Amino acid sequence: MRKKQDRPEEELDLIGIPAIADRTVAAPEDIPETTVKRLPRYFRCLRELFNRDVMKVSSKELSEYTGVSASQLRQDLKYFGGAGQCGYGYNVKRLYSAVSERMGVAKKYTAVMIGAGKLGRSLCESMLFEQRGIWVKGIFDASDDVIGKTVGENTVRNVSELCGFCLENRIDIAVFCIPAADEEELLGIIRGAGIRGIWNFSPCEIAREKAGVPVVNICTGDSLMYLQYEMSKAETEKK
Amino acid sequence: MRKKQDRPEEELDLIGIPAIADRTVAAPEDIPETTVKRLPRYFRCLRELFNRDVMKVSSKELSEYTGVSASQLRQDLKYFGGAGQCGYGYNVKRLYSAVSERMGVAKKYTAVMIGAGKLGRSLCESMLFEQRGIWVKGIFDASDDVIGKTVGENTVRNVSELCGFCLENRIDIAVFCIPAADEEELLGIIRGAGIRGIWNFSPCEIAREKAGVPVVNICTGDSLMYLQYEMSKAETEKK
């Protein structure tokens, strides 16, 4: 495996994402929220096609791969400029580049994990960050049981060092994997650290207005409830 | 901690959810998808209020707790019968009961975890299932390194025993926490096991049509991309 630490920072790019300047890509504020929510799905599919050296793809094929209807898909991808051509299909490289660009995947963000429990370690050792151009530069915990242990390419540090570390290393994203009493407690941990985005797996949600930066709260249990609902509904329909 | 194995099955109820038959609750097919997606949020909030012995709550208060606008919230909660009364607010107990009922939380589903890696163990040991009335009856893996080890209240079994175990124990939900080549491979594992719902953390998505039962696919990375998008957008707006 490539070791990121061995490479100088300017080389830390997303190997494989072609850099194509496309002036016809819509501005972020012009892309509807519903389209944005589907972009990661397109991104994953286009990455797969690009890595398999597929040059073009029709909206029908993309629709099959992504499970999004072909007409919906054409509507969504209109925001990504001249990548599609009637009767020819989409240029995979152009479209992949445009979607990655708009998703901010090409931005080389840095992140710290806060919490080195099972979930924190599991996320840290996954390919989730690297695949999206994010460099996890540190992992922090308050417990002496884990401080000093190795997780992926990092050694767990004391959370008391967090702010200094973030400022020094210009960390963009804080990933919370700790239980907490409330959002005040979570926000207190990163106060003054210059964090620009929060990915929150803690059980208490953080409001964007309170954080002052973009926040994505992951409520894993909500999706389990949604499954329960769908199962319950399916059983009602059978009766 | 209460040990679930020690209790006879009929006692395995969701301690705390009041059973109130409310004939004015809408049928599942009549509740819009957008409302359904917000129900877990209401559920969490109502559970908290109920556990704190709060008897009634106004739509304004509920709105503050959940982050859903008061008018949207009133619209959503209309589907849950006569729990709300103008000028009085909502009866917490009734509303909690109605939402739980419709979400299928009162249904006492059973589940198995497939994959005893970090993520599987982390989920298994969390309160996610118990809080929603789901009993995790088994955890399975293919690796000799983990088979026989203890995770929460379960011992990791060989995945070859899965089908027999599921039929014998009438397992409702399969939770996938393993990497897999494709959905065929995942569906192959549970074929003939009588599974009625799938919560899928594997990197490849499962289509409901292929599975024949409700499926919720968790693409953790998609939410990270969404955060990147929001950060990228926030930076563009600042310029």
A170: CATH: 3.40.50.720
Tokens of A47: 């990455």
Q: Which of B218, B230, B233 sits opposite A223 (nearest CB)?
A: B218
* Angstroms from B219 CA to nearest CA on chain A: 9
In 3D space, the residue among A23, A95, A32, A24 whose CA is nearest the CA of residue A58 turns out to be A95
Predicted local distance difference test score (pLDDT) of residue A231? 92
Is B117 among the domain residues?
A: yes
Low-confidence ranges of chain A (pLDDT < 70): 1-23, 82-87, 239
Is A167 among the domain residues?
A: yes
> Same domain, yes or no, for A92 and A131?
no
Across the interface, whether the CB atoms of B225 and A117 are under 8 A apart is answered no
Pick among A44, A224, A226, A236 to test the B interface (most B CBs inside 10 A):
A224
CATH number at residue B75: 1.10.10.10
Sort out which chain B residues have CB atoms less than 8 A from A41's CB and list them: 219, 222
* Angstroms from A160 CA to nearest CA on chain B: 25
Range of the structural domain that residue A37 is part of: 28-102
Sort out which chain A residues have CB atoms less than 8 A from B39's CB and list them: 225, 229
Residue pLDDT, tens place only, B172-202: 999 999 988 788 999 999 999 999 999 999 9
- What ipTM score was computed for the predicted complex, to two decimals? 0.81
Q: Which residue has the higher pLDDT, A20 or B42?
A: B42
- Indicate the residue among B102, B127, B143 that finishes a domain: B102
* Angstroms from B71 CA to nearest CA on chain A: 19
- Determine the Cα–Cα distance for residues A175 and A173; give it in Å rounded to an integer: 6
Q: Which of B37, B104, B125 sits opposite A231 (nearest CB)?
A: B104
Across the interface, whether the CB atoms of B230 and A205 are under 8 A apart is answered no
> Same domain, yes or no, for B120 and B91?
no
Query: Residue B163 has what DSSP assignment?
Result: H
Instruction: Return mean pLDDT, chain B.
Output: 85
> Same domain, yes or no, for B164 and B144?
yes
Name the helix (H) or strand (E) containing A37: helix A33-51
Residue B136 · residue B154 · CB < 8 Å: yes
Sort out which chain B residues have CB atoms less than 8 A from A205's CB and list them: 67
Predicted TM-score (pTM) of this structure: 0.78
Across the interface, whether the CB atoms of A103 and B237 are under 8 A apart is answered no
* Angstroms from B80 CA to nearest CA on chain A: 14
> Same domain, yes or no, for B211 and B150?
yes
- Indicate the residue among B55, B81, B102 that finishes a domain: B102
| pLDDT exceeds 80 at position B25 | no
Maximum pairwise Cα distance, chain A? 63
Binning pLDDT at 50, 70 and 90, where does residue B215 land? very high
- Determine the Cα–Cα distance for residues A101 and B187; give it in Å rounded to an integer: 35
